Structure 1
Amino acid sequence: MASLSIGSASIRNPAFQPCKLNLNFSFLNGIPFHFFQVSKRPSKNQYKTAHFPLHSVSGSSVSSPLEADEEDDPTAELCYLDPEVDPQSISEWELDFCSRPILDIRGKKIWELVVCDNSLSLQYTKYFPNNVINSVTLKNALASICDELGLPLPDKVRFFRSQMQTIITRACNELGIKPITSKRCLSLLLWLEERYETVYTCHPGFQKGAKSLLALDNPFPMELPENLYGEKWAFVQLPFSAIKEEVSSLKTRYAFGAGLDLDLLGIEVDDNILIPGLAVATSRAIPLAAWMNGLEVCSVEADFARASLILSVGISTRYVYATYKKTPVTITEAEAWEAAKKACGGLHFLAIQEDLDSEDCAGFWLLLDLPPPPV
C-alpha cells in the first residue's frame, strides 16, 4: 500500500490552503489528534453531479425492444437487462419504493419501484397507485422482475429509506432475500437524480415544488459503541492514483473494506490529486476493521459546531466518532479537510491501521458524501 500522506514536513506550521488540494492534514504541533479511549466518553455541499454514464435507460429489454417513440415517454416503465451480462452474476440489488412528485388522475401521488444493480446492468421501474402500497405488492413485483428478465432472486437488497424498512424487510424476508439498510446505494441515488431531471419533470402529472412523503433522516449523533473505539486518528491524504490501487486490490489484499465503481460514477480525477481521508490507529486494528465491515459505512464529516467527527453508517445512524479541542489551528484544519472533500465531489476514505506510520491497512473504505436524492 502507498504510504498515507501525513504531512510531517510541516508539523509545526501547517500551510492550509482551502482552495487547493495540496493541504497538510495530519499532525498538530507534532502530536496527533487522540481518538477516545474506551474508558473516556465524549463531551456532549453543494455536490455537483458528475456525468453519470448510464446504460441506455430506455434501451431494450431482454425479450422485446422498446419502440423509438417510447424512448422519451415519461409514463413508460422500464425492464432492462444488459444482454452481455450473465444473469447469475447479479446477486445484489439496490431498491427504492417511494412516492414521486407526480399526481395520477385521482389527484393522488404516484408511487414507483426502482431497482438496479451497482453496475446498472439491471434497470427496472414500475409505477403504482398509492392505495396498493404494502409488502405483498412489493414481494410480487420483485418476483416479477426475475420472471420477466430470467434473473435469479438476489442474495441481498440494499435500500436507503428508513420509513420503508418494515415493508421492504417483510417482502424480502418472504422471498429469502437479505435486506440491508445502507446509503451505499450510490448507483441508485445517482440514477434517481438523473430520472428526476429526465423523467419525472417531464411527466404530465409532475408537481413542481412537491416534496417527498418520505424525507431522509439526519438524526442527532449518538455515543460511539465501545467496540468501535480506536486509539489515535489523523487527517491524511492519498494521491488518486494510490486510491485506485487500493480499491482494485481490496478483494485480494484486505479482508475488510469497500470500494466504489469510480468509472460508473463518472468520477474523473487527475492521478496526482490528493484525496482527503481519515486514518484510525489502534493495536486492535483487525478486530476494529471487522466490526466496521458490518456497518455499511457511508461517510465521515467534520462537525465544526461540536468540534467532532461524525461517522454515518446504515441509513439513519450517526456516531460521534472523535472530538478535538477547539483552537484556531484545529478549526482551520477541520475546515480545510471538508473543503478538500467538497473539491473532490465528496470523495474521501477511511483507513484503519495498527499505527499511523504504517504502510498497511487492516481495512480501507472509499466513501462518497452525496446529498439526498431530489425525490
Structure 2
Amino acid sequence: MASLSFTTGTARNPKPYSGTPILSSKIPFQGFWLCPRTRRVCHSLNTGRDQFVTSPLDDPQSVSLDFTDEVSFLDPDIDPETITEWDLDFCSRPILDIRGKKLWELVVCDGTLSLQFTKFFPNNVINSITLRDAIVLISETLGVPLPERIRFFRSQMQTIIARACKELGIKPVPSKRCISLLLWLEERYETVYMQHPGFQKGSKPLLALDKPFPMDLPENLFGEKWAFVQLPFSAVQEEIMTLEKRFAFGAGLDLDLLGIDIEDSTLVPGLAVASSRSKPLAAWMNGLEVCSVEADIDRGCLILTVGVSTRYVYASYKKNAATRQESEAWEAAKRACGGLHFLAIQDSLDSEDCVGFWLLLELPPPPL
C-alpha cells in the first residue's frame, strides 16, 4: 500500500492537518438511464413483450416515456447465480394516481445495475405480503435466484421489509451503502417522476431519512489513535483492488459504474485508526455497513454513520483554532472529491499496510 500522508495525532489531541489536497473539478456523476452497461430500455411487464430500444446515455429524452410501463431487466452477459445481493426501495412517490392518492413504487437493483426492476402500487396494498410476492415475481420474471441479502435505506420500512424477507429466507440489511440505487432514484426523479402528469411539485417525502443524535461508541469499536490522512486516488484504487487478494476486511465501490472521474494525483481524504487489536476491531467494523465519517466541527468530534441511521461519536478532540482548521480542511477535501473518502484500520499509524479499508461516499439524501 502507498504510504498514508498525515501528521500523527492522538484521539483527543490531533495535530493540524499537514497536507494540502490537490483539488480537481467537481466529480460529474453520470446519470443512470436504465442500464448504463447495455444502454437499453427494458421490456414492459404489462405487455409481456420484449421492447429493447437502443438509447444513448446522453439523450434520455429520445425514449418515449410510457408511465404504464415498468422496468424489468437483466443484463444478458451476467450469470444470474452471481447476483446474491439486491438493493431495494419501497416507498411513496410524489405522484398522485387517478384517485388523488400517492403512488407507491418498488425499485430493485443490484450493485452493478445488472438487475433492474420497478413496479408501481396503489397505496392501499402496501404490506409485507405485497412485497414478498413482488420479490418472488422478480425472481421468476428475470430468472434469477432469490438473493441472500437485501439492502434498504429507509428505517421506516424495516418492519415490512424484514417480514417479507423472513418468509423467503432472505437476510434484510439496513444500509445506506445502496449507492447505485440512490443515484438511480435521483435519475428517475428527474426523468420519470417529474415528467409524470400526476407529479406533485414541492411534495415532501413521506418517509424522510433519519439523522438522529449521535450515540456513544460501543467499547469494542474503540481505536487507540487516529489521524486525518490522504491518499492519491490511484493508490485508493490499488488498495481496493487488493482487498480480496489479501482477504482484508473492508468494502469498495464500483467507481466506473458510479461515473466518478478523478485525476490519479488527486488526494482523497480519509481517516486512519490505529489499534493493537486491529484485526478484531476491523472484524467488528466489517459487520456494520459503514457508510461515512463526518467531522462535526461544532461539537469537536468525528461522527461514524453505519447501517441506515445509526450515528456514533467515533472520537473527540479539543476544540481550538488549529483543530477547527484541520477539520474544515478535511471536510473541504471530501466535498472536492464529491463526497468520496475512506476509513483505514491499521496496527499503528506508521504501518504501511491496512487491516481494514472502507471506501466511502457521502451523498445527499434522495429528493423523494
TM-score, with length taken from structure 2: 0.90
C-alpha distance after superposition, 1:114-143 (max 9, x if no partner):
000000010000000000000000000000
1:188-207 alignment, distance < 5 Å:
188-207=181-200
Q: Partner residue of 1:210?
A: 203
1:361 and 1:126 map into 2 onto residues whose CA distance is 42
Q: CA deviation at 1:58?
A: 1.9
Stretches of 4+ aligned residues off by more than 4 angstroms: 11-17, 60-63, 67-71
Contact 2:32 2:184 in 1 (8 A): no
Q: CA deviation at 1:252?
A: 1.2
Contact 1:259 1:366 in 2 (8 A): yes
1:64 and 1:360 map into 2 onto residues whose CA distance is 53
Given candidates 49, 57, 80, the residue that maps to 1:87 is 80
Given candidates 31, 35, 47, the residue that maps to 1:52 is 31
Q: Partner residue of 1:6?
A: 6
Q: Partner residue of 2:151?
A: 158
1:325-344 alignment, distance < 5 Å:
325-344=318-337
Q: Partner residue of 2:132?
A: 139
1:179 and 1:250 map into 2 onto residues whose CA distance is 25
RMSD: 2.1
- Equivalences, count: 347
Q: Partner residue of 1:110?
A: 103
Contact 2:32 2:187 in 1 (8 A): no
1:128-277 alignment, distance < 5 Å:
128-277=121-270
Unaligned 5+ segments in structure 2 are: 9-13, 54-61
2:17 and 2:93 map into 1 onto residues whose CA distance is 48
Q: CA deviation at 1:14?
A: 6.0
Contact 1:87 1:152 in 2 (8 A): yes
Q: CA deviation at 1:12?
A: 8.5
2:64 and 2:221 map into 1 onto residues whose CA distance is 49
C-alpha distance after superposition, 1:73-109 (max 9, x if no partner):
2342111111111111111000000000000011000
Q: 1:105 to 1:278 in 2, by over 3 A?
A: same
Q: Partner residue of 1:21?
A: 22
Given candidates 93, 98, 106, the residue that maps to 1:100 is 93
TM-score, with length taken from structure 1: 0.88
Structure 2 residue 305 is matched with structure 1 residue 322:
no
1:210 and 1:50 map into 2 onto residues whose CA distance is 25
Contact 1:75 1:203 in 2 (8 A): no
Structure 2 residue 50 is matched with structure 1 residue 65:
yes
Q: Partner residue of 2:59?
A: none
Q: CA deviation at 1:65?
A: 2.1
Q: CA deviation at 1:299?
A: 0.1
1:57 and 1:217 map into 2 onto residues whose CA distance is 35
1:2 and 1:253 map into 2 onto residues whose CA distance is 15
Contact 2:297 2:324 in 1 (8 A): yes
1:373 and 1:163 map into 2 onto residues whose CA distance is 15
3-state SS in 2 of match to 1:164: helix
Q: CA deviation at 1:113?
A: 0.1
2:66 and 2:310 map into 1 onto residues whose CA distance is 38
Q: Which amino acid aligns with 1:135?
A: S
Contact 1:61 1:80 in 2 (8 A): no
Equivalent pairs: percent with the same residue?
67
2:200 and 2:16 map into 1 onto residues whose CA distance is 54
Q: CA deviation at 1:2?
A: 1.2
3-state SS in 1 of match to 2:311: strand
3-state SS in 1 of match to 2:328: helix
2:78 and 2:97 map into 1 onto residues whose CA distance is 36
Q: CA deviation at 1:211?
A: 1.2
Unaligned 5+ segments in structure 1 are: 23-46
1:112 and 1:366 map into 2 onto residues whose CA distance is 30
Q: Which amino acid aligns with 1:79?
A: S
Q: 1:184 to 1:14 in 2, by over 3 A?
A: closer
